[in-house]
Amino acid sequence: MSERVHAFVGFVADFPALESGGDPNGKELADFVYAKYSKVGLVLSPPSDNGWAWDLHTRVDELDIYTIVGEVGDMNSNPPRQWLVTNDCRIPIFRRLFGRVAFEKKREFALRKLCECLHAAMTNDSRFSHINWYDAATFDKPGDVPSNKP
């Protein structure tokens, strides 16, 4: 079995942090993520303000995938995390009870597609540095070790 996808990414990036009009920081970064995900054929909702970050939603087959783009501002962490993008997929209650293994395979495949797309875009753009990927299950827990790839 392949390694679980690292679907959370922390990084430093040259995007404006301060927004006007009371919007959360990172609208330009959220638009960047939206554009990159759209290029791989995903139909997404435009970034929406959730009060503290930006949300994007898409559907791949039966999977409801959501992405959150937000400023963390933790430049003292090692590695530093100025921004964080999380990608996840809610498991429908029916799938929690029946067909979970097949659902998890689809989930990993879809998340890997998104994350590899974003990783390629970020590593080919000089505005990004300190790119580190995390497993959602261990993110920010003791012993959490980031990866250099999704």
Q: How many domains does the chain have?
A: 1
Q: Give a yes or no: residue 3 inside a domain.
A: no
Domain presence at residue 2: no
Domain range enclosing 98: 8-134
- Which neighbouring-strand residues pair with 12? 129
Distances 44 to 14, 64, 73, 115, 136 between C-alpha atoms, Å:
24, 11, 26, 15, 21
- Rounded distance between C-alpha atoms, residue 16 and residue 24, angstroms: 11
For residue 93, tell me if it sits in a domain. Answer: yes
Residue 57 domain-assigned (yes or no): yes
Residue 105, Cβ neighbours under 10 Å: how many?
A: 12
Q: Is residue 52 part of a domain?
A: yes
Cβ proximity of 1 and 125 under 8 Å: no
Chain center to CA of 101:
23
Residue 142 included in any domain:
no
Nearest to 88 by CA among 71, 67, 60: 67
Q: Is residue 61 part of a domain?
A: yes
* Coil/strand/helix, residue 120: helix
Grouped pLDDT means (10 residues each) for the chain, 150 residues: 84 80 86 91 89 90 88 86 92 70 85 93 97 93 92
For 29-76, the DSSP string reads: HHHHHHHHHHHTT--BPPPEE-SSSEEEEEEETTEEEEEEEEEEEETT
> Which pLDDT belongs to residue 1?
42
Whether residue 147 lies inside any domain: the answer is no
Is 44 in contact with 58 (CB distance < 8 Å)?
A: yes
